[in-house]
Chains A and B, each alone.
Chain A
Amino acid sequence: MFQNLKVRLGLILGLTLLSLFILWRKYDKTGQPITLGLDLQGGAHYAMEIDESKAALSAKDREDAINRALKVVDMRVNELGVSEPVVQKAGNDRIIVELAGLDQASQNRAKDILQKSAFLEFQIVRPLSELQPQLPRIEQAITAAFPNEARAAGQAPAATAPGGLLQTKGAQADTAAASAAAAKPLESKFAGQGASGQILIDTANIRSITRYMALPQVRALLPRGSQLLWGVPEAEEQKGYASLWFVNADAIMTGEHLQNAQAQTDQFNRPIVAFELSRRAGRRFEKETGDHINQQMAIVLDDRVYTAPVIRGAIGNRGQIELGKSTMEDASALALVLRAGALPAPLHIVEERSVGPSLGQDSIDNGKIAAIVGIGLVILLMIGIYHFSGFLAVAALAIYVVLSMGMLSALDAVLTFPGIAGLILSVGMAVDANILIFERIREELDQGRSVRAAVSEGFHHALRAIVDSNVTTLITCAILFYTGTGPIRGFAVTLAVGVVASFFTAVFTTRTFMALYLERRQSVQSLSI
């Protein structure tokens, strides 16, 4: 049936119109004929994984956890009010979140909400006297890691804290303090002991201490099974100071078994979040708290300590979190993430890519100019070399562009930066297919064949090479698609679509145009090629 020219033309026209229709519908719905990737239109991409530093999970638990986390993240992202957010699972252990077209402030807000894993833990506070014997070695490790800062601490006279934290420090004479501080970059920044047994730190020193604590050698020197955690800023009682808590690393209970959470106010009209554990967890909690009577229990949310009340008696399945100076809105938000998303384990961001809207716009503008200039030059070259036949090829190329765009749009493919690479290559292949055919026709004409025979032979002989190279490319695309990650997949999809479209246009469309031209001129003696 493809021998009939009218059928062939109809098919070409139909496919072109269909593609245009698909593009138009997409444009009508989203304002873009093809969805642009975040790297082109601006937006943020986050990959998150379950943090297994606390407890290693079995494969089944991990899968379960990631599926639950996916639902939670999805719920939270939907509340952000971003248009068409993407929340999906990648591989077995990763969640991808993509938020398009956000400005920087909204990106930061979104990231805060995503990172709030709402992971609730109850950890027993340890007495600071257990930390004391390790301090000299910790100081040594810090001095070794940051020699410059230790010196700076020694020179700053204000580094001596009022009263000192641990008794030894208070006993030191003022004159000795400066030189002592040089050797004690950490302790010199301790501003005293808080009412609940936490270490107080001047807010100006938070960053240095955070960096010290991040050192693996410092972590290793902490007493076995203990860790240092920051307090939540809103819960601080003394202005200008932050709390550092020394707690058991193992939690006696986690939010995994949380059943309900509500924002309420306490008797002083301060916001609290009241929570309820499942019955089984409640029984365990009762036993654990019973074991630690008269000790303090830190209520930790996302590695930040809210409060650390003293356990007066065994606690069952109900409890509350005091939020200090937070607002009632904060309490409601917290109750919501706790309810919606008591994640089985915390999530952390392993990959972040964000592009501001202006940079994305620049990329698009530059890309457009480059594409117009490039395509214009290719058209000139083709017509300059193949004359009338070149013109036919250019017409076929125009159809190729419409078809491949339409296919990309129909597949809901996202055009990213590597995708553009795929497009360039496929445009190159589309042009190449035409060149192959035309060169072959020229050869046949050189051998003295008639125009009709040369055209037919040219297409026939060039076909095999085109098929083989296209199939090879498609095989590569399929493999890239199945083994590759996001951006490589984008490349594979655009290239595959381009190859299919280019095959159709070069072999089918150009040939139809040629045949149409030859049919009109029954006694053609020469071909403009």
Chain B
Amino acid sequence: MRFFKNANYPILQWRKRAYIVTAALMVLGIGSMIYHAARGEGWLNYGVDFTGGTVVQVSFTHPVSADQVRDATRAAGYNDWEITRFGTGNDYVVRTPKFGQEAGADAQSRVQQALQTRFKPAVNGRGGDFSIARTEAVGPKAGNELQQRALMAILLSFAATLLYLWFRFEWRFGLAAITATIHDIVVTLGFLALTRMEISLGTVAAVLTIVGYSLHDTIIVFDRVREDLKKPRHGRTFIDILNKAINETLPRTTLTVATVLITLISLLVFGGPVIRGFADVLVLGISIGTFSSIFVASPVLYEIERHFPRKEKREQAVRSTTARRPNGGTRPGNDNRPGNNRPARTAEVPR
């Protein structure tokens, strides 16, 4: 079975449309961040891992409603506790805004005591109405630190990647790859801002995974570009070279993203509620990463090349006329064998 055999899509000529999509996604995401920040809810819905606070997950042995749980905690005098259902079973998550150890009583025992006003606790994991399944209590300092370190890690890895790609390819490729990756992060975070999904440690791991995948994907395409640039040009423009690289790697891109998505979707379906949020972010981010490696990375590389053309090739510069043509070539290749890539209607720059 083969997909996209001898594909010949004028991807670069579609870049204006890609920019519009990208811009729309970014405006939506960043807009929603600003909207929520202006309302004092924070740019993103940071979870306890970042803001500090406590989360206690309680498993009930029989169905109870959120109101019943809330009654119990209110009866114990805790009015500011947030109670939400977790997953599909009889689990509830109790969030308390502050992290504290008042008089030696920590989050877990406070929740236990509060619920005891209405429910019976399990003893040694047996009997009773409820048991505590999970506790996360993070002090404000630890939360802050996590945020800073995650950001630091991402920025440093960008710098290192840029250097490596500069060394192996050249700086234009590095810059374009990083730009595409930043695009992925921004769009993913924008989506998280829009849906108000909680940002946790798992989200950080997911974003790091997306960074890794997106870079990987982009490098595969750029490798073809690098290979082709070494060959004689025969009058092909930079656009032609980029298009060829993208089209040649299209079968691989789709197959790989398909296998990764298959794994993720099975994680989403069978992985249980704990991993759910994490898998959601990954599915989204991997899709965005694939989009960007096709529609963002190469166009950005083209724009960089256009503004900072290579010295030795300034003569036949990429300042090609194709950019201004009203309708980019739109004949998906039928007569073209790979290797003889000369997209049908791409004008050639006169020397």
CB within 8 Å of B: which residues of A? Answer: 47, 49, 103-105, 107-108, 111, 115, 148, 206-208, 210-211, 214, 230, 348-359, 362-363, 366-367, 369-371, 373-375, 377-378, 381-382, 384-385, 417-418, 420-422, 424-425, 427-429, 431-432, 435-436, 439, 442-443, 446-447, 461, 464-465, 468-469, 471-473, 475-476, 479-480, 483-485, 487-488, 491, 495
* A206-B1 Cα distance, complex, nearest whole Å: 73
CB within 8 Å of A: which residues of B? Answer: 1-2, 5-6, 57, 59, 77, 79, 100-104, 106-109, 124-125, 131-139, 141-142, 145-146, 149-150, 152-153, 156-157, 160-161, 164-165, 168-169, 201-202, 204-206, 208-209, 211-213, 215-216, 219-220, 223-224, 227, 248-249, 251-252, 255-256, 258-260, 262-264, 266-267, 269-272, 274-275, 278, 282, 337-339
Q: Which 7 A-B pairs have the closest CB atoms?
A: A418-B205, A366-B272, A465-B223, A350-B139, A374-B266, A374-B263, A370-B270
Chain B residues positioned under 8 Å from A495 (CB to CB) = 212
Chain B residues positioned under 8 Å from A446 (CB to CB) = 5-6, 337-338
A377–B102 touching, CB < 8 Å: no
B102–A214 touching, CB < 8 Å: yes
* A115-B6 Cα distance, complex, nearest whole Å: 67
B205–A104 touching, CB < 8 Å: no
Given A356-B131, A377-B262; A436-B278 close (CB under 8 Å)? no
Tell me how far the C-beta of B242 lies from the nearest C-beta in chain A, rounded to whole angstroms.
16
B263–A488 touching, CB < 8 Å: no
A487's closest neighbor in chain B, by CB? B201
A350's closest neighbor in chain B, by CB? B139
A selection of 27 A-B contacts at a CB cut-off of 8 Å is: A104-B125, A104-B131, A210-B102, A353-B136, A355-B133, A356-B134, A359-B134, A369-B270, A370-B270, A375-B263, A377-B266, A417-B201, A418-B201, A421-B208, A422-B205, A428-B259, A431-B259, A432-B256, A465-B219, A465-B224, A468-B165, A473-B212, A476-B215, A479-B160, A483-B152, A485-B145, A488-B150
Tell me how far the C-beta of B104 lies from the nearest C-beta in chain A, rounded to whole angstroms.
7
Count of A-B residue pairs with CB < 8 Å: 246
Chain B residues positioned under 8 Å from A375 (CB to CB) = 263
A373–B101 touching, CB < 8 Å: no
Q: Is the interface of B mostly helix, strand, loop or mixed?
A: helix
Chain A residues positioned under 8 Å from B165 (CB to CB) = 468, 472
Given pairs A384-B1, A424-B263, 7 additional interface contacts (CB within 8 A)? A104-B132, A366-B271, A435-B259, A464-B227, A468-B168, A475-B160, A488-B205
Chain A residues positioned under 8 Å from B161 (CB to CB) = 472, 475-476
B157–A479 touching, CB < 8 Å: yes
Tell me how far the C-beta of A179 lies from the nearest C-beta in chain B, rounded to whole angstroms.
23
A484–B150 touching, CB < 8 Å: yes
Chain A residues positioned under 8 Å from B263 (CB to CB) = 374-375, 377-378, 424, 427-428
Chain B residues positioned under 8 Å from A373 (CB to CB) = 266, 269-270
A424–B264 touching, CB < 8 Å: yes
Which of B258, B274, B337: most chain A Cβ within 10 A? Answer: B274
